[in-house]
Amino acid sequence: MKSLLNRWLIRHPVKSVIYMILLIILLLTGVPFIEMATGNDTLVETDTDVYQDNEMLAEEFGGESVIILFEAENIETLFSVDNLGVLEKLTTFAKEESEVIHSIVSPYTVLDQIFTKRRQEIESGLGEMEDGLEELAEKMEQSNEQSPEHIRQVITEFNQLKSQSGAFHEGIPRDQETLDQILYEDGEIKSTFRDMTIDDQFMTMIITFKGNIDDNDKSDFVASLHDAVDDRNITDMEMIISGKPVLDDDIRDSMQESIQIMLVMSSGFMIIILFVVFPVRWRLLPLVIILIALVGTVGLMGWIGVPITMVSMAVFPILIGLGIDYAIQFQSRYSEDLREEDETNE
């Protein structure tokens, strides 16, 4: 096979160069498709029972979580109307991403559940009272005992009460006194909310993704969440976004930055070394060859769907080292043959 390839290259040098250039261009077009991967599938085989069980668990109960940590001077500041209003806006933002978000847990969501239940109970009670008054008015009309007009007036007032948005406000109360009645008991924060606070200075908001969500979708949500947090002009509370998806984003950015630094530094060192210890014409040609091989390898990974992971990154230094070694040896041998041929011709 090797001898056949050698004969073909000797007989068709121009075609060989053209085909090689076309192959390089084809491989280069795969570079935009390369991805950085940090998920569980880079550590565990996807066909194992452990991986499949974990995927099933994430599908049912949610996957990775983003944690927002809120910090203030004291617990009263944390649970102020304004600061809980920030949680309300962030919760609304997260709920709009229902395609990727499984659940949201925070002091605001607990408060919202409490007030939603109370509104439902009040509305249900008013509805029962209205039905009872309607039934009473009908019986009075049938018996002709007395005019039910005053009953009709009471029904009208009930309807007006139900239509008042202030009586059934959606979300948390807008006055601190009403809010404190729900939050505190005997001067202490209730245990329901205590579980979401740390040292009276921190409270948490946990946003859980659905299972088997693509890393790109997680990254897009985390970026949008950072923008949403930055848009909240708060002076008495600090917010920190953390969690595995955020860490994975930073890891991918760090991997990309490390690859760039590695390529720049290795190229610089090789240029210096080639100029010092490789006294031939076209002494930078091995560097050009290895860079083409490196980019071609990345392009091939993009075409066949092989991501760059923390493990596969180790291949690039080996590729550079072996590639530059073979390129120098090949060029040195070629230069020796040319010199021998020139000496023979003389």
Interval 212-256: pLDDT, tens: 788 888 888 888 888 888 776 666 788 889 988 888 888 888 888
pLDDT at position 146, please? 54
Domain segments of the chain as ranges: 12-41+278-337, 56-249
pLDDT at position 163, please? 56
Burial category of 128 from C-beta neighbours within 10 Å (exposed 0-12, middle 13-18, buried 19 and up): exposed
- As beta bridge partners, residue 70 has 203, 239
Rounded-to-5 percentages of helix, strand, coil across the chain: 65, 10, 25
Q: How far is Cα of residue 185 from the mean position of the Cα atoms in its chain? A: 38
pLDDT at position 247, please? 87
Do 65 and 244 meet the contact criterion of CB atoms below 8 Å apart?
A: yes
DSSP code for 204: E
pLDDT at position 82, please? 85
DSSP code for 100: T
Do 241 and 257 meet the contact criterion of CB atoms below 8 Å apart?
A: no
Which H or E run contains 3? helix 2-11
pLDDT at position 166, please? 44
Q: Which residue has the tokens 């280069």?
A: 28
pLDDT single digits (tens) 68-84: 999 888 888 888 888 88
Alpha helices in 62-175 (DSSP H): 75-78, 81-95, 107-143, 149-163
Rounded to 10 deg, the angle between the 176-183 and 81-95 helix axes is 80
DSSP helix/strand/coil, 343: helix
Residues of the chain below pLDDT 50: 165-168
